[in-house]
Amino acid sequence: MSVFGVDYAWGRPGPDALKKAGARFVCRYLSHDTSGKNLTRAEADQLSRAGLWLVVVWETTARRALSGRSGGAADARDAAKQAANCGMPEDRPIYFAVDFDASASQQAAVNAYLDGAASVIGRDRVGLYAGYGPTKRALDAGKARWAWQTYAWSGGKWDARAHIQQYSNDHKINGVGVDYDRAMKDDYGQWRVGVSPGEDDMPDYVSVGVTGEQTLAPGTWTTIRWDKEYADSEHQHADEGGPSLLNGPARYSLTAAVRLRGVPAGTRVQARLIEVDAGDTARFDVGPVQDFVSSGDETNVLYGVSADTVNDGHRVRFQVVQHGGAEAAVTGGSAKLLFWRT
């Protein structure tokens, strides 16, 4: 399971654009910067009201962590004050950045820096942002309780203990440069103004796939059958090969991807959610419809909804239609759905 989020510095994409892009959390800066890089209380309020989670990282200069214990203590004091002013609960962690390819010979200084931070805010609130080497060494030594690993300087390696992975850089949302992140643990240090995540805030999830071929008739909405079950924490996907992804009531977000064969290039393809009445599946409500264009004999369709609600007695299903003149096929796919009970 992973949860999609982003981090950014001076720009502000805005909560509507972030949610439309599928982000569920935002990582933001604390520092001595005065030019607009830092998270503000107004921004924290705005993102929190929109239902987005926040994570904070302290960074002044890339190599600041080489300043040792005294530097870590000073930075933790300033970071904790700024975070509190933004409404962060005092039990939430602060990530401290090592934004360069720190070597093994520099780890002693990094560890001392983290010791200094721990002396101010407590070890349980100390996080580290870094590449693979410093992340692994700090976690092995017990110097950080939380880890946000970047793919930079990681050589394709991921530490399984990391709470967040920064896996791709240099994207744009609403004209603002962002990096892509994914939370790998239920609790990755997230918060909203005045709110720490509780048990009810942690999502359950469904992960299913398509391995067999399914016919895709022209001009007809086809409900995808999921014949492979990877994860289903509350047995939402009742039967292997069944179409339903979630039984209401619940809030949810969904990413679904299917591979199509035999749809001519340039042909219109559409995807949508439906919420069917469990007692009469011929009755259903239609969710967001997204349009695509076939790229040729094999086309990939990626559909996403960042936030929706399914009512009691209804089930979520996923449908695709191709507007060509002949029969085509679904040859593979997957769906991941996070949900919160209402």
CA separation for the pair 106, 172 (Å, rounded): 34
Residue 282 neighbours by CB distance under 10 Å: 6
Cα angle, residue 154 at apex, residues 149 and 155 outer, rounded to 5°: 150
Q: How far is CA 165 from the centre of its chain?
A: 9
Q: Domain count of the chain?
A: 2
The predicted pLDDT at position 228 comes to 87
**pLDDT computed for residue 201 by the predictor:** 67
Those residues of the chain that have pLDDT short of 70 are 1, 199-202, 233-234, 237-241, 342
The pLDDT, as a whole number, for residue 252 is 87
Encode pLDDT of 68-112 as tens digits: 999 999 999 999 999 999 999 999 999 999 999 999 999 999 999
Supply the range of the domain harboring residue 162. Answer: 3-199
Last residue of a domain, one of 165, 182, 199: 199
Q: Quick one: pLDDT at residue 84? A: 97
Structure tokens at 221: 């909405």
**Residue 150's domain is classified under what CATH number?**
3.20.20.80
Give the pLDDT score at 250.
Answer: 87
Which of 134, 165, 199 marks a domain boundary?
A: 199
Give strand pairing partners of 183: 3, 164
> Does 140 lie in the same domain as 19?
yes
Pair of tokens at residue 288 = 């967001």
